A and B are shown apart, each in its own frame.
Chain A
Amino acid sequence: MANLTIRNLKKVFEGIEIIKGIDLDIKDHEFVVFVGPSGCGKSTLLRLIAGLEEVTSGHIHLDDKEITDMAPAKRDLAMVFQTYALYPHMSVKKNMSFALDLAGVAKSEVESKVSEAARILELDHLLERKPKALSGGQRQRVAIGRAIVRQPKIFLFDEPLSNLDAALRVQMRLELARLHQELNATMIYVTHDQVEAMTLADKVVVLNGGNIEQVGSPLELYRHPVNQFVAGFIGTPKMAFLNAQVKASDAASVTVALDSGPVYTLPLDGRTVKVGDVVTFGVRPEHIQVADAGVSEFSVKLDVTEHLGADTYCYVKAPNGETLTVRASGDYMGRYGQEVSLVPELAHCHLFDAEGRAIPKPGAPAQAA
């Protein structure tokens, strides 16, 4: 069992509130990812859970046990650091068995646990080496192995892949996902990379400025971001935001006029906005089609196009100077400066009010931020 409960957790450092009262529940076997821009408090939150930082106020419970002020070692958590933090003077084997040796576990048991972890991580042939004789990916695996042998209740990962090169990062990401399945463990993972968050997580926690913006499955965050921050943070390339004004609204639809010209009616619950309100219209690159000039009322000028093979990203400029990104098919050929028109899929577009809150879909329960 490993259910982590965090209640009204605050951290103040030198007079600055870094974590501003966080409530969060993490269930057994869940893979939870903390994601957010740098300085959002995600690493601090992880270190508070680990016990490496002192909690200013609030409570952390692991199952029925309060661990808020407990020493790190007693919490039954293991952490994998961004810098791997291997003991440079110990062999791979010693690195992995250190915790067990300290705990006074019997030699034969240490031996079997280390070789089991080495087998899972394919480190068998490296056990006698020192960390400096290993590659970045191997070091990372040793750091994970060091966590595995302890069979902790929760694994904590602090940006574990950010020191690896791009190709290795993808490979280790897959290995981590597989490891989560194999060990059936509870994992908390911190990253600034929303792709890692989307691909690994059962549950994503989006943090910003010491607050939780939204908690949900990757697809929930993608489809129903509760505010403009989450909408802009999740998804690549980013969602485009265009200024607009409400022209009409009721419980099932909102009609807005974009500053760049076109008027759209979206299937949203418009009871929270009124005519004349300034809103933001959000649309993802994959939810717009490029068409020849004059096909729709939304006419724009092509800026640069990027050919990625399968897809083509077109950067376009609206008449009022707003820019947005559009994903077109791989064989789309547009000329720089060409006049085209855009056709957004209105069912997948979003509206945000002046405070950045999402205007909900009809019938959807109002989501708390």
Chain B
Amino acid sequence: MLSLKQTRHLRTVLIGSLAWLVALAIFFPIFWMLLTSFKTEIDAFTSPPQLFFAPTLENYIHIDERSDYFHYAWNSVVVSFGSTFIGMLLAVPAAYSMAFFETKRTKNTLLWMLSTKMLPPVGVLVPIYLLFKDFGLLDTKLGLVIIYTLINLPIMVWMVYTYFKEIPKDILEAARLDGATPGQEIYRVLLPIAKGGLASTILLSLILSWNEAFWSLNLTASGAAPLTALVASYSSPEGLFWAKLSAVSTLACAPILIFGWLSQKQLVRGLSFGAVK
């Protein structure tokens, strides 16, 4: 028989191992991608796959010669930050009115907004493509900013709404009695209190926009193409070049991975906002 202390210890070890296992399973594809990006095309195809090999930078050199990485990276930065900025500009007032001036229809409006996310994007591809064509938005950064803002807005409103809901109404009423205008109420009281939640909303929106591929592939050619489109251009009809594809994917993921890693504390805090108080 195990003593109570031993049982507890065993449980900690088991849960710890499980967590490590899950983490490794999630991390493994990224690790393998990174590894493959330093292999030659021959090594990349070898079966069984090799863990040890002579690393080479030739894939990265090839990518640098064939395409202008920074052009695509810049497009990614502009469209993700642009759409996040405009999205927040719309989401904060929307969530403010829904959280603090709730009516009988507020819940339905929120659900309706979220339900737009349930529609398969491909279902509206043709009408949106035609609209973009008519408005001259095809292959423009502005076009991508608009579409990303629209597809992320429901999630942003929901998140900001949830964070605002946690703030007691009394605090805003106190500000109102103290003489704050609606603008001052939001800017000087509400936003500073909700900053943790707002930061994680911004982060999530940046990540979603950065990783979005469906619309960027269909609505851009080269001028406004972000990194996701660059990655796609490497799965060419002449055959699969695993090593080069891994290298370009690594380059596409790296900025957002580094960004996410730097802000993970904020992200975790924001996402567990309501849970741990």
Residues of A bordering B, CB below 8 Å: 50-52, 71-73, 77-79, 81-89, 98-99, 102-103, 146, 150
Contacts and interface: CB of A to CB of B under 8 A. Distances in A.
B4 interface: no
B157 to A, nearest CB: 23
A99 B179 contact: yes
Which are the 7 A-B pairs with shortest beta-carbon distances? A85-B170, A73-B179, A99-B178, A85-B174, A89-B192, A81-B170, A102-B179
A89 B184 contact: no
B176 A89 contact: no
Contact of A83 (B170, B175, B180): B170
B173 interface: yes
Nearest to B195: A89
Contact of A87 (B171, B173, B184): B171
B189 interface: yes
A85 B170 CA distance: 5
A82 B169 CA distance: 12
B240 interface: no
Interface residues of B, number: 15
Contact of B179 (A50, A84, A89, A103): A103
A146 B178 contact: yes
A78 B173 CA distance: 11
B210 to A, nearest CB: 30
Nearest to A102: B179
A103 B179 CA distance: 7
Contacts of A102: 178-180, 184
A83 B173 CA distance: 12
A83 B179 contact: no
Nearest to A71: B176
Contacts of B175: 87, 98
9 contacts: A52-B176, A71-B176, A73-B178, A73-B180, A79-B174, A84-B170, A85-B171, A85-B174, A89-B192
B177 A79 contact: yes
A73 B177 contact: yes
Given A88-B193, A89-B192, A102-B184, A81 B176 contact: no
B136 interface: no
Contacts of B170: 81-85
A81 B174 contact: yes
Contacts of A81: 170, 173-174
**Most central of A72, A77, A103, A150 by chain B CB within 10 Å:** A72
A98 B175 CA distance: 8
B177 A78 contact: yes
Interface in B179-196: 179-180, 184, 189, 192-193
Interface in B190-209: 192-193
A146 B180 CA distance: 14
A156 B232 CA distance: 65
B123 interface: no
Contacts of A88: 171, 193
Given A52-B177, A73-B176, 12 more contacts: A52-B173, A71-B176, A73-B178, A79-B174, A79-B177, A82-B170, A83-B168, A83-B170, A86-B171, A87-B174, A99-B178, A99-B179
